[in-house]
Every structure is written in structure tokens, then in C-alpha cells.
Amino acid sequence: MAVAAQPRLIHSDPDVLGSVPVFAGTQVPVSSLWDYIKSGDTLAAFLEHFPTVRREQALAVLELARETVAGAPPEQVAAPVASPTQPLDRYSRQMKFPAIGAEGQEKLRASRVTLCGCGALGTVIANILARAGVGHLRIVDRDFIETSNLQRQVLFDEADIAANLPKAEAAARKLRQINSAIQVEPVVTDVDHTIVLELVHDADVILDGSDNFEVRYLLNDAAIKLNKPWVYGGAIGSHGQTMTIVPGQTPCLRCVIESSPQPGMAATCETAGVLAPIINIIASLQATEALKLLTGHPEAINRDLIYVDVWDNELRRFKIAKLKDTTDCPCCRHRRFDWLEGKEGAQTTSLCGRNAVQISHKSATSLKLVELARHLEGLGGQVALNKFLLKFSLDGFDFTVFPDGRAIIKGTSDVEKARTLYAKYIGH
């Protein structure tokens, strides 16, 4: 169906303009279209609210509205949405690779990816996939950008910090400038058991860009339940590891790592540091696995656990394929989704009148306070320890940590902020 004839527009102010006919007599106020133009995911938002409108019609209408408000300040106008028939010339070098070619590139353009976490690993993954032409990239992250992120999180700069942008939004803006032919959907939220299925249900591949095992076990549960492939990755210090999980074909994460490390037992970037090169290596391996799956080459995926240490010059491949059949896995064998059902993971409570949040664990936890105190002392904060609890102050927040892994974080009533601080200083 052709787009209806465009009316003559008599004013450049979207608030006083008339309507644009979309199809079959439907009128859409230009002022409403202006809201979509100012929003990040213009085309996706438009089609969500007008599901009967075809994609090519929506593109034409949005372009008309853009022309109407051409006098608006540049920062108010979203990046252009490219036509779905845009030539593939920009991917010519990638298409020369025999395993991809024109057919694989078309598959990439039609694909959907959900990336959970847009920090160090996530920004590298997102950058690669956007440039490769993945058609729809959903980026999920709860956090904001800090100066210490810039050493390794490649999509961010000082201007993003000055603008106080969430990571997902800042990344989306950069990626739209890199490739306007794809849809980038930023989602600023915490990944938990109440929302994870909604975030990944329409993805062809799920990618782990997170920094904690709670999110990874949630992704594992969701992927196994929905029969979707996902790629795990993690890095700390100078080393990192990655594995690809295809339900029914490979071991899942719980086959290899049955339970999450106890709080305080796993190092964090704050306690152990991290080198940017290992981030780029692990994230590049993850993105490559995604390209294999999205272009229809599951036979080429990595079926080992790959471990790399850039400082000690180590590369190891752990043969894990047999674990699928030899491990009595609660997830992929018994279909028990403890993390997805909220039976595992941290619980948070905002403490009324105290400007504090309590974080506790649903399963039994034993935290080694002495070891945690030793790590924290190296960060320059005030640390006090006895056999009952550990207290320390960092970044303007006061932490009280108990042997069972429970912590009270004073200085915020924001639950998501408290979870970020817990993961940052105590662990996962």
C-alpha cells in the first residue's frame, strides 16, 4: 500500500501543525511524531504505537515530520533512520569473508540481539555488532558512567560523564552515529528475575556483558527455558574466560559452574583491577560467536571454555562438552530454574528513615570477613573489623557487612545503586 499524499505544512512549530495521513485515512498529529523524533528508538517506538502501519510507510512519515521540524536545534533531532533497502556496501569487506557473504549479511540485518550489561565487555561487543550490521540491538544496563570507566569502556567519553548519561543511553547514541541503518534500543534497568524473560524473549542470541554471576545465572535460566543460545564472558585483572551455550547441544553455565561464588570470594575490578586488552580479547571472542550463530553457522561455534591471560601469555581450552551428559545439572537436565523463579539471588530492602538499603541472600552464605577486609584496605577507605561484622567507608557510603553476606549500605535509598555498590566492593 502506498503512503498517502503528503499535505502542505504551513508552520514549522510541531505544536501547532496539523496531521500527517499515514494510511487508510489515519491521521497522526505532527506534534506526536515530534515526540518519536526526539526519542532514541524512533522507528521501533512508532511501530509499537501504530502496529498496523507498515515499516516503509512509517519511514516515509517520520522523514516528512523531520523535514517539517528541520529548524529545530540539532540536539533535539534523533539520528536518521535508514531505509531497509539501504545498500550493503558498507559491509563489503565483511561480506568477502566466505562464511558470511551476502546471504549471511542479510541474516545479520534481520537478526535481533539482547546484550545484558554495557560496561567493559558490553561496549566492545555492542561496537562490533553494530558495525557488523546486526539489525536490532537491545542494550540493557542499570548503571551510569564514571571517569574510571573510560580506561576500558570504549563507547564512552568525558562528554557522556558531563551529561550524566546512563550507560545504555550513551552507548545507543554513539552506535546510531556509527550505523544509522540498524535499530538500537537502550533499556536502563536492573536485570532481575521479574524482567529478564521480557528482555530476551525476542532475541536470536543473548550476550553477557555483565559483571556479576547473578545476572549470568538469570540469563542461563532464561536461555535454557526459551531455547535460545547465549554467550558467557568474564574478565578481571589480566585474565578472562568465555563459553558458548546452545540449549540441548552444549553444557549450560550451571553444568560448568554449578553455583555462584560466595560474596567476597570473587575479585572485582575495584579490588583486583582490570587491563583493557583482556576486555577486548574476551568481548571480541563473544561477538564472533554471535556472528557465527546469527549467520547460520552453529557448527563453527566454540564448544570449549576458553581462558586467556594476557600478562602471563596463557591461552587454555578446557574440554567441557562431556559435562552435558555427565553432570546432573539442575537447570538443563532437570529444568529447574531457581534464579528465574527468584529462589536464588540477592534480596534488597530500603530501610525506612535511614537512607540505607539492606542486601541479603536467599541461600546460605558464609563470607570471609578477614579476606574481604584485606582487599578493602588496599582501596584507601576506613575499615573496622571484629568477629561479628565488617565496617568500611568508600565513595561517601558506609557499609556494614555480616558473615552471612548480608550488608547495609548507608548513604542511599536507591536499591539499584545499592546493588551496584555491593557488586563493586563486596562481590557477587
Amino acid of residue 14: P
CA–CA distance, 335 with 232 (Å, rounded to integer): 20
DSSP of 135-186, one letter per residue? SEEEEEE--B--GGGTTT-TT--HHHHHTT-BHHHHHHHHHHHH-TTSEEEE
b/e map 31-46, b = 16+ CB within 10 Å:
bebbebbeebbbbbeb
Residues tagged active-site: 269
b/e map 259-287, b = 16+ CB within 10 Å:
ebebbbebebbbbeebbeebbbbbbbbbb
Place of cell 555480616: 402
147 φ, ψ to 5°? Answer: -55, -40
Contact 293, 204 (CB under 8 A): yes
